[in-house]
Structure 1
Amino acid sequence: MNWKTLLGFGLSGFLIWFTLRGTDPMEVWTHIRGADFLLLAASVAVATIGFFWRALRWKVLLHPIAPDTRLRDRWAAVNIGFMANNLLPARVGEFARAYSFARLDPRVSMSAAFGSLVMERVLDALVLAVFLVGAVMMPSFPEVELGPRFTALLQSAVVLLAGVGFVLVLLLAFPTTVVRIGESLARRFLPETAALRVIEALESFLQALGVARDPVLLTKALAWSFFFWFWHGLSFWIGMEAFGIEAGAVAAFFTEAVVGFGVALPAAPGFFGTFHASAAFALDTVYGAGEIATLAFAYGYHLGGFIPVTLIGLWYANRLGLSLGDVRESEAKVEAAVDAELIDPADRSLDA
């Protein structure tokens, strides 16, 4: 129970209380029981199939390392990773995914697999930022006064989209120069140990940009990313319909983007609290879908999607001979593997 775990549980508990304050939980439960379970099952099925699309996209990201990785290995590792996020604290899913895939395909090291996931997260952030800004610019976006906080949120999304794109262009065009500038700034403004860690992180990130240096692979990865998040947005749309929320497709993609950024915050296993507060903000505060219907969707859709990937991930972990304890320790093992392939702070001085 380190500080990250405590922070995650604390924030989740607060956000669950915050979303349910002033409401009757039994009323929310009654609305969940009154949902169209056929549509809800369809939305969960669409969301679960999305993990298959993730496995297909991962082949493109792994191509510079091993162009012929097996789909069944990628599919197993994806499910193990999301199972870990659902059951274990401190967001160990990405580490578990890299660790399990390296065991399934020994040609790909843990650090290389983890590096491909760094690129995956960058692509996800770019696509979700596009969806967020695009939804706001649509004529159907609600004309409501949401105050300075919402304005700041939109400005942050625009800055994020522009900033990440600009930094990626610099990294791709001038990788050596960027590393040298990073080293210079780190030496000047940070203590030696912290500076070395920053330099290691930058070098590790540059190693993860193998896909981005190939125009064909980058185009494929972007296309897969847009397809995946469009597909996942459909599951939100169908799920909203299951709970009587007829806000439309744009609202579904806006909600998906808000939730996508919201669940990046520290939380208890399974994104409890962060998912629900993000969905409540998008659908109730922005689109006025109604507090009870929104909460019923948030809790019902989230729980429905939680179960399949968790069971599939547990099944694959068992087949691979991994216990939850092994999965929990994957973070330390991946970090050790990454450190081993980068500069060892104990053997290097900044002045060397």
Structure 2
Amino acid sequence: MAGKTPFYKTKTFTLTAGILIAVVCMWLAVRPLFDNEDAWNQVVNAFQQADYRSLPLIWGTLIVFYWLKAWRWRIMLAPVGNYRPVKDLLPPIMIGFSLNNVLPARIGEVARCFVFSKQQKVPFSVAVSSLVLERFFDLIAVLFYLGIGLVFIEGVDPKIQQQAWVLAGLSVIGVFTGLAYVMFTAPFVAFVEKVAHSLRIIPHGLTDKVCRLLEKGAQGMSALKSARLVFFMLGISLVKWGLNCLLIGLSLWSFGLPTNPTIAMVLTGVVAIGVALFPSPGYFGVMQLCFAAVLLLFVKGEKGEAAIFASSIYYHMTQYVPVTIVGLIYFVKSGLTLHEVEEKKEERDLVKAATPEIA
């Protein structure tokens, strides 16, 4: 007889926690506006005076962003098949992001793997392994832009800039660690296991789980033993996240806020890390708090606070709406149901453990 599901793994807890995170983060984001009686009128005025010529540029950039994401996934899956980026891979990607936008517990990641495995008739674990590798390259790219932004940004504490050099160095180390992981998986995992077991403070069960995840991440990646291919994937990741910096820059420009590239880089990193650490449904609240936390360092005044909040909504919704609509259309066309996805309980836990969401 199956054991009772722990309360913290139930849908009720997950949904409640996600909503609570969204409410708290949104309250913290709008709190500076409470001191100004005319704040909400200023938010409305910010939307009325915004320059919406950025909208087609944002949507065009968004198309290229997801196209690159599909192409990178194609390279990662090359060992198991020759998939078409737009026809075979883009639908599962959009389905995953759309369901993450409307459902808690990152069910979209499970749906993405499930849809791909069903449509292409490949093991579910193959899709999961590619997502592990994908998240790794995303993390490196995010840390790269965050580090560069913090190093060269003006008007911040010099101590923060010094710490940014450390972050940039860690990004470089991460690149070479990833190369070692992909190209020399067996000895790499053996080394990690040996080091972890030598540290008595780390439980053996946790060590074994981490090593299994590492092995799972390399499963099906045996053909990616070429440093050229790995650097190619890294290059795509950097371009993709550079486009995300552009999306933020366009949103700031629309509301007359500073468009310094270093600010956009820092904000990109903070948003990516924020939504990974605090997974609220649709990223509501978290996105707005990240904008406020970064931009209030450079923008002063009541009108500036209103413009920051308005720009965060603009950046969020110009992606949320089209991605959700396109993804749900693909999901309906797939013929699959949410019930089928939710039945993959063990796989869901594996995906959640192996693929922390990076925006």
Q: CA RMSD for the aligned pairs?
A: 3.0
Match runs of 1:135-284 below 5 Å: 135-138=149-152, 141-145=153-157, 150=160, 154=164, 157-158=167-168, 160-172=170-182, 174-184=184-194, 189=200, 193-207=205-219, 210=222, 213-284=225-296
Cα deviation for residue 101 of structure 1 reads 1.1
Per-residue CA deviation, residues 84-126 of structure 1 (Å, 9 max, x unaligned), is: 11011012222221111112211x3221112111111111111
1:321 matches 2:308: no
Residues 9-18 or 325-334, more deviating: 325-334
Kept after mapping to 1: 8 A contact 2:251/2:315: yes
Change (3 A) 1:172 1:324: closer
The counterpart of 1:83, out of the listed 84, 94, 98, is 98
Hey, what does 2:32 align to over in structure 1?
22
Residues 280-289 or 259-268, more deviating: 280-289
Alpha-carbon distance between aligned partners in 2 of 1:33 and 1:21, rounded to the nearest angstrom: 22
Count residues with an aligned counterpart: 334
Hey, what does 2:142 align to over in structure 1?
128
Hey, what does 1:305 align to over in structure 2?
319
Kept after mapping to 2: 8 A contact 1:9/1:267: no
1:7 matches 2:17: yes
Change (3 A) 1:22 1:252: closer
Kept after mapping to 2: 8 A contact 1:36/1:242: yes
Change (3 A) 1:300 1:166: same
Per-residue CA deviation, residues 190-226 of structure 1 (Å, 9 max, x unaligned), is: 5564443233223213336546522232122122112
Residues 76-85 or 178-187, more deviating: 178-187
Change (3 A) 1:323 1:68: closer
TM-score scaled by length of structure 1: 0.83
Alpha-carbon distance between aligned partners in 2 of 1:39 and 1:328, rounded to the nearest angstrom: 38
Identity of aligned residues (%): 26
TM-score scaled by length of structure 2: 0.81
Per-residue CA deviation, residues 25-45 of structure 1 (Å, 9 max, x unaligned), is: 443233223322232343244
Kept after mapping to 2: 8 A contact 1:8/1:267: yes
Change (3 A) 1:303 1:182: same
Kept after mapping to 2: 8 A contact 1:40/1:301: no
Change (3 A) 1:14 1:163: farther
- Structure 2: runs of 5 or more not aligned: 1-10, 34-38, 354-359
Change (3 A) 1:55 1:5: same
Change (3 A) 1:157 1:187: closer
Alpha-carbon distance between aligned partners in 1 of 2:276 and 2:322, rounded to the nearest angstrom: 21
Structure 1 stretches of 4+ moved >6 Å: 336-339
Residues 59-68 or 203-212, more deviating: 203-212
Cα deviation for residue 58 of structure 1 reads 1.3
